[in-house]
Amino acid sequence: MSKSRVSRRQFLNYTLMGVGGFMASGMLMPMIRFAVDPVLEAGAAGDYIPTSQKVSELTEEPVRVDFTYDQVDGWYESEVTGTAWVYKEGNQIVALSPVCKHLGCTVNWASDKEHPHQFYCPCHGGRYEKNGKNVPGTPPTGPLDEFDVKEQDGLLYLGAAKPNTLV
Amino acid sequence: MNWTARDMDLYLQQSEYIDTAVVPLVGLGSEGPGMKQSASETEFLMNLTAFLEHQFKGRLMLLPPFTYLDKSDKARLASEWEASIADMPFKHVFYLTTDQTWSAEGIIGDAIWIPSIPLEHMDKKLKQSVLEDQVRQIIPVLTARWTGN
Ligand code: FES
């Protein structure tokens, strides 16, 4: 009768081995994952996220557009609010990520009085031109990321973030 | 930066830029209504500090909340906290609290008191704009200190 039953000790051995194997594979994982910029990961679910911004109301002056999406990190599920700076360049819609390429603060358009036509990072004075190009001599080392955009029913949809294509 | 292994790695390389610590002070109420009140204030403060961290990720480190009880000896806690944070390489430290006793009695020098606003019945949009308004009031306090030296 007891033959077919898994003894307590056996059971513990099984489970511990299971955990051990799992941990071994866990050691390889981080190295792969770190290669992906978390900013780029955000939209990586692939789909476009709708915003409440009407495309017809966009002008050449960058405006802030907010959007929300669900994010699951481990067991911690949260609704994340993202932001983009959006403007029109001729017929093209440009949406830039507000995440500073230095250490990740949120940049604002025209918030520095001395540079009213630039994005400004309040953390260490990083600056970017309107197309996202970082101003040399300020801490950021690269241009602001860009979002894929599309228009649907007159509204702006934002896709995955990608390296800046305008600079 | 958040108090996570990944952000900490970045902090350890870039601590000259990330020179500010933000510490939420959370009071734990222990009887019925006090528990509800404490939960509501904690929710508000954690939302607020998360938002602040998001805006100023590259400049500040958000520490895990320091928690105290009704019966805690505040003066003793304060001196313990201040002493251990002084050992960390931060140039500026801000304690954020919804409990006026910390700032009013000057127990902690750098406590910023923010009146708690119950968020539980707000929809996301309203919640976000309320939090933004609050953060907008804190920013001048931070920047004043940052430009002060
Ligand atoms: S994080 Fe933007 S300049 Fe440092």
pLDDT in tens, B56-99: 999 999 999 999 998 999 999 999 999 999 999 999 999 999 99
Among protein residues, the one whose CA lies closest to atom 1 of ligand 1: A103
Give the per-residue pLDDT at A151: 94
The Cα–Cα gap between B32 and B132 comes to 31
The pTM is what? 0.82
Give the per-residue pLDDT at B56: 97
Helix B32-55 and helix B124-148, axial crossing angle in degrees, nearest 10: 60
Which candidate from B59, B124, B128 shows the least CB-CB separation from A123?
A: B59
- Is residue B58 less than 8 Å (CB to CB) from chain A? yes
Give the per-residue pLDDT at A77: 81
The Cα–Cα gap between A43 and A65 comes to 15
The Cα–Cα gap between B99 and A61 comes to 42
As given in the structure block, the two tokens for residue A65 are: 């557009």
More confident residue, B50 or A17: B50
Q: Sign of torsion, CA A96 A101 A104 A110?
A: negative
What are chain B's domains?
5-136 (3.40.50)
Summarised one tens digit per residue, pLDDT across range A25-83 is 555 444 444 444 444 454 444 689 999 999 999 999 999 999 988 888 888 887 788 89
The Cα–Cα gap between A39 and A42 comes to 5
Give the number of beta-carbon pairs within 8 Å between A and B. 41
Atom of ligand 1 nearest to the CA of A103: 1
Separation of A117 CA from ligand 1 center, angstroms? 18
- Is residue B59 less than 8 Å (CB to CB) from chain A? yes
Q: How far is CA A11 from each of CA A4, A14, A15, A25, B148, rounded to the nearest angstrom?
A: 13, 5, 6, 22, 63
Q: A70, A36, A44: which is closest to A159 by C-alpha? A: A44
The Cα–Cα gap between A167 and A119 comes to 15
Give the per-residue pLDDT at B105: 74
How large is the average pLDDT for residues B121-140?
A: 91
Summarised one tens digit per residue, pLDDT across range A125-150 is 999 999 999 999 999 999 999 999 99
